[in-house]
Amino acid sequence: MYQFPKGFLWGAAASATQTEGAAQVAGKAKNIWDYWFEIEPDRFHNRIGPALTSDFYKQFKEDIQRMKAVHFNSFRTSISWSRLLPDGKNVNKEAVHFYNEVFDQLLLEDIKPIVNLFHFDMPLIMQEKGGWESLEVVEAFNHYAKTAFELFGDKVKKWTTFNEPIVPVEMGYLNHYHYPCVVDMKRAVTVAYNSMLASAKVIKTYRQLNQTGEIGIILNLTPSYPRSDSQGDIEAANMADLFFNRSFLDPSVLGEYPTELVEVLRKHDLLPEVNQGDLELIKENTVDYLGVNYYQPRRVKEKEAPSNTDSIMPESFFDPYIWPERRMNPYRGWEIYEKGLYDIAINIKDNYGNIPWYVAENGMGVENEERFKDENGMIQDDYRIEFYEEHLKWLHKGIEAGSNCFGYHVWTFMDNWSWLNAYKNRYGLYRVDLETQQRYLKKSGQWFGDIAKQNGFK
């Protein structure tokens, strides 16, 4: 029997932009996704934008009842910055009413809300000021966070500052997959640094308000595995770990950046502008707990050919490596490696003070799931059940080894809109019919409900 600790949190994760819809009504201003779809709709799968997504704005009461039906005791979502403060300063009363109703309904069903403040959805007016490249936006984010704490802190006792702050860096400033589609390592470093500065400021603000909750951050951790135990391969894995994990994990939990990372950035003239008091702020305002999103590992080897030193990128220091024994999710092109979750658990225990943490996302996206419907219309997603079960076995092993994990959230509760991919890959425990917006329980939802009810499985 894989039994989990008493009070273990079972639930799912979602975000405002990916589920709410009502994208430009009820007082909400545009965020970068609304704007990008407006100017380049062909970039989005099947030209599906964020206007309606999964209609949570209208159906949240019924959806929360569906969460209760599969025995959730927790649910993580986000507040939309551009909905709460459309002009960046003044509160939208319709947004306050909506979020209060969502939190009230969750609490009524004994589902603990975990609320995130930023999930890739920069308000357009803030992007026009420079986004995370701008210290003015860092201050505006702090104002938004303080507003949210004061409005909802009596109901929400678990907050997070960012979800996957590396994603806007990697996808928006090192690639063309998120707006503003900049490819510039120097600017990417600034965005990453200012995100950590913003997180620390918000944590300080939260504590100054003396609210009776906790505040953390959610990071997507991708364990870096070397091809071999050769010095070159091990150094390559270390560099990947520095850029893609420790660049956010160390300042968030330990309050300081890895010396080796700082030296690499200094060597290539990539250090961000650091103002007086910044590093003290980061040092003194570390997180109370950590959320970990885990989907896939990163496998690397020593570079076979030197990179062009005029355009340094993280990949300038390692090459990807295809492990011959790997299993793949062909729809996402991601390796399935359940043991990675155990390795994360032990790393947190051994190197990060065994800080309390939970799995904030773990999931499997599959294309064309309709083909797996049975005669009763239920998606027979045994592949997702297997994915979750194997990850949970390794997580349980990490907990047995002493790692301080307090919950497991899947991505996601119901099929939701996913940035450029829209609804190409489905992740939900509930299927969403895009034509009718009706929800239908999948086999994995039924299975997850049993796990949550029993707080474990055989």
The SS3 call for residue 82 is helix
Alpha-carbon distance 324 to 340, whole Å?
A: 17
Q: Say how many residues make up the chain.
A: 458
- Burial class from Cβ neighbours inside 10 Å (0-12, 13-18, 19+) for residue 427 reads buried
Alpha-carbon distance 173 to 177, whole Å?
A: 9
User: What is the C-alpha end-to-end distance of the chain, expressed in Å?
Assistant: 4
Backbone angles phi, psi at 162, to 5 degrees: -130, 150
In DSSP terms, 293 is beta-bridged to 220, 361
Written as six digits, the tokens of 166 are 């590396």
**Count of alpha carbons within 13 angstroms of residue 342, beta-carbon side:** 13
The residue type found at 358 is: Y
Written as six digits, the tokens of 150 are 């004061």
Active-site annotation, residues: 164, 361
Alpha-carbon distance 49 to 34, whole Å?
A: 7
CA quadruple 79, 207, 106, 390: dihedral positive or negative? positive
* Contacts for 32 with CB less than 8 Å, ≥ 6 apart: 121, 122, 123, 124, 127, 131, 178, 179, 180
Backbone angles phi, psi at 91, to 5 degrees: -75, 135
Cα distances (Å, whole numbers) of residue 410 to 13, 76, 288, 448, 454: 6, 10, 22, 9, 17
Cα distances (Å, whole numbers) of residue 199 to 60, 164, 166, 215: 28, 12, 13, 10
